Structures are given as structure tokens and as C-alpha cells.
Amino acid sequence: MVAELLYRYCEITQAQIGRLLGGIDYVSVNMLRKRVRARMLSDPKLNEQFMQWEERIKTEMYNVKI
């Protein structure tokens, strides 16, 4: 889920995400994101957790002053 959130909200590439997550390549990050999205469709609990994290990120980003 972290990879998906980083991709959505941090404006970094999948290659950069891979480096942050221990040195995996961008193809692996892409496959990881696809698997997480597919699992969220079949697992309501996981989907709810993701939505909670996403809402918290949106709230925190809204409160950031530049």
C-alpha cells in the first residue's frame, strides 16, 4: 500500500519508489501496485484500511503551509 500511496501523492517515479523500498526495480514496483489494487477489490478490510490512510494523507497535505 505504501508504494501505491507514494506513487499517488509524492510525484515520484516507480524507480524512485523501488529505491526507497529496498532497491527493487520499477517493474517490480509496478507489479506490486497492481497486486495491491487487485487485492483491495477482493478484500474489503484492506480497502478500508487503504482509504483511511489515504484520507489521513489528504488531511495532512491540506494542512501543510508552503
Residue 59 pLDDT > 90, yes or no? no
Which helix (H) or strand (E) segment holds residue 66: the answer is none
pTM of the model: 0.81
Q: What is the pLDDT of residue 49?
A: 96
pLDDT digits (tens, 9 = 90+) for 7-56: 999 989 999 999 999 999 999 999 999 999 999 999 999 999 999 999 99
Q: What is the pLDDT of residue 5?
A: 94
Tell me if 6 sits within 8 A of 12, measured CB to CB: yes
CA distance 52 to 18: 24
Buried b (16+ CB within 10 A) or exposed e, 32-65: bbeebeeebeeeeeeeeebeeeeeeeeeeeeeee
